[in-house]
């Protein structure tokens, strides 16, 4: 009888061990392996668009770039049949590393916001880090605007069903957390572009909800605000996101992370008439957000700063505070007034 010879292959075993070595992890959200493999457990369910309207809003997914799988979810209020509405381009949060325009929490939030603020919303599903480190998300944001411009100028565009409801001279950029960081950087890039290159789009305002910024030097709220175990953002989680999102070798004083690292000079490129900054009182980013608002005002920008009492980071989508619902209604009212002022 022939004998079965089992030989140990150390190379195969070593590859297996490499796959199991985890270099970065945020429990329940993302796990990065040494071999480059990235796992994102489905902690938040993704929801498809329904064919029927929800809360008087029609949602639908649109393809921006089929080759790169860049897409967005558009929300059109039924009331838009009377006159063109402001267009709000939105970027979701998630530390640049997790999240989706299809996440149920964003679908619910933006459906409600489109209805209450009476605006068309385009929620961008940008590429995530660490597979796509910054500035890829910024590039996706600007490419989205250029796509909107091209489709708006194309009289035979398949996107006319929703673009015809938009007032292109009333464009707003918005986002929460990392999405607010993206909105800020895309707005800055628009400011560096000529008016002819972006026409008919005209940026009227920027809405930054708990913008995700950082720095090597800690602020008081970062050092002293103790967060509950289920908090959306702790200092260690923040640091992990930045290690995964920033260009390799960059520190937290890179301008992508710390827009004030070199003073307020770069803020001059943010050519927009008005900016709203939404700050959460119990957020570790509170002091950094307030400092950013002051710097904007110092740079000559018209800034509206709103502090939401008794709630922390991402309360408006996670509903993890007792006051989350009422504060979310307040936030939507502020955004509605800001857009329609």
- Domains, the chain, with CATH or none: 49-339 (3.40.50.1820)
User: What's the average model confidence in pLDDT over 167-188?
Assistant: 98
Range 78-103 average pLDDT:
93
Taking the C-alpha atoms of residue 63 and residue 51, their distance in angstroms, rounded to an integer, is 17
pLDDT value of position 262? 85
Mean of pLDDT values over 15-21:
62
Lowest mean pLDDT, pick from 42-56, 87-101, 105-119, 273-287: 42-56
Q: What is the 3-state secondary structure (H, E, C) of 235-289?
A: HHHHHHHHHHHCCCCCCCCCCCCCCCEEEEHHHHHCCCCEEEEEEECCCCCHHHH
Look up 177 and say whether it is catalytic.
Answer: yes
* Long-range CB contacts (within 8 A, 24+) of 258-264: 258/213, 258/214, 258/215, 258/216, 259/184, 259/213, 259/292, 260/213, 260/215, 260/291, 260/292, 260/295, 261/215, 264/295, 264/298, 264/299
What pLDDT is attached to residue 8?
A: 37
CA-based nearest residue to 205, from 227, 220, 183: 183
- Are 116 and 57 in contact by the 8 Å Cβ rule? The answer is no
Q: Give the model's confidence band at 7: pLDDT under 50 very low, under 70 low, under 90 confident, else very high.
A: very low
pTM of the complete model: 0.93
Mean pLDDT of the chain: 92
Give the model's pLDDT for residue 4.
36
Q: Is the pLDDT of residue 14 over 80?
A: no
Q: What is the b/e burial string over 259-292, where b = at least 16 CB atoms within 10 angstroms of the residue's CB?
A: bbbeebeebeebebeebbbbbbbbbbbbbbbbeb
Q: Are 301 and 270 in contact (CB under 8 A)?
A: yes
Q: Which residue has the tokens 């929490």?
A: 105
The stretch 72-85 carries a mean pLDDT of 88
Q: Is the pLDDT of residue 2 over 70?
A: no
Beta-carbon neighbour count of residue 234 at 10 Å? Answer: 18
Residue 11 has pLDDT above 90, yes or no: no
Strands 30-33 and 38-39: antiparallel
Q: Which residues contact 206 (CB under 8 A, 6 or more apart)?
A: 172, 173, 174, 183, 184, 187, 270, 272, 274, 275, 276
pLDDT at 264: 81
Q: Is 21 helix (H, G, I), strand (E, B) or coil?
A: coil
Q: Which of 177, 221, 293, 324 is catalytic?
A: 177
In angstroms, how far is the first alpha carbon of the chain from the final one?
Answer: 89
């Amino acid at each position: 009888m022939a004998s079965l010879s089992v030989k140990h292959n150390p190379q195969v075993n070593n590859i297996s061990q490499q796959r199991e070595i985890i270099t970065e992890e945020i429990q329940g959200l993302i796990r990065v392996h040494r071999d480059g493999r990235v796992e994102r457990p489905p902690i938040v369910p993704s929801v498809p668009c329904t064919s029927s309207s929800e809360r008087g809003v029609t949602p639908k997914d649109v393809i921006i770039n089929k080759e790169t799988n860049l897409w967005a979810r558009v929300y059109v209020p039924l009331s838009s049949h009377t006159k063109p509405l402001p267009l709000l381009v939105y970027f979701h949060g998630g530390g640049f590393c997790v999240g989706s325009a299809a996440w149920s929490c964003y679908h619910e939030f933006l459906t409600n916001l489109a209805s209450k603020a009476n605006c068309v919303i385009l929620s961008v599903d940008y590429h995530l880090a660490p597979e796509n480190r910054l500035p890829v998300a910024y590039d996706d944001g600007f490419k989205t605007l250029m796509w909107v411009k091209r489709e708006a100028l194309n009289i035979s565009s398949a996107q006319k069903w929703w673009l015809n409801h938009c007032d292109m001279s009333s464009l707003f950029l918005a986002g929460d957390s990392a999405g607010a960081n993206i909105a800020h950087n895309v707005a800055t890039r628009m400011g560096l572009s000529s008016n002819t290159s972006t026409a008919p789009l005209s940026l009227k305002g920027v809405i930054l909800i708990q913008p995700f910024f950082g720095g090597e030097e800690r602020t008081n709220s970062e050092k002293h605000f103790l967060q509950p175990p289920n908090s959306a953002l702790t200092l260690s989680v923040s640091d992990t996101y930045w290690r995964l999102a920033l260009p390799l070798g960059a520190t937290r004083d890179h301008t992508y992370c710390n827009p004030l690292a070199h003073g307020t000079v770069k803020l001059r490129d943010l050519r927009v008439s008005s900016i709203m900054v939404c700050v959460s009182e119990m957020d570790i980013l509170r002091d950094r957000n307030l400092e950013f608002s002051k710097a904007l005002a110092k740079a000559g920008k018209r800034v509206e700063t709103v502090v939401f009492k008794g709630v922390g980071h991402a309360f408006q989508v996670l509903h993890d505070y007792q006051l989350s619902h009422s504060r979310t209604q307040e936030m939507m009212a502020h955004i509605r007034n800001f857009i329609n002022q």
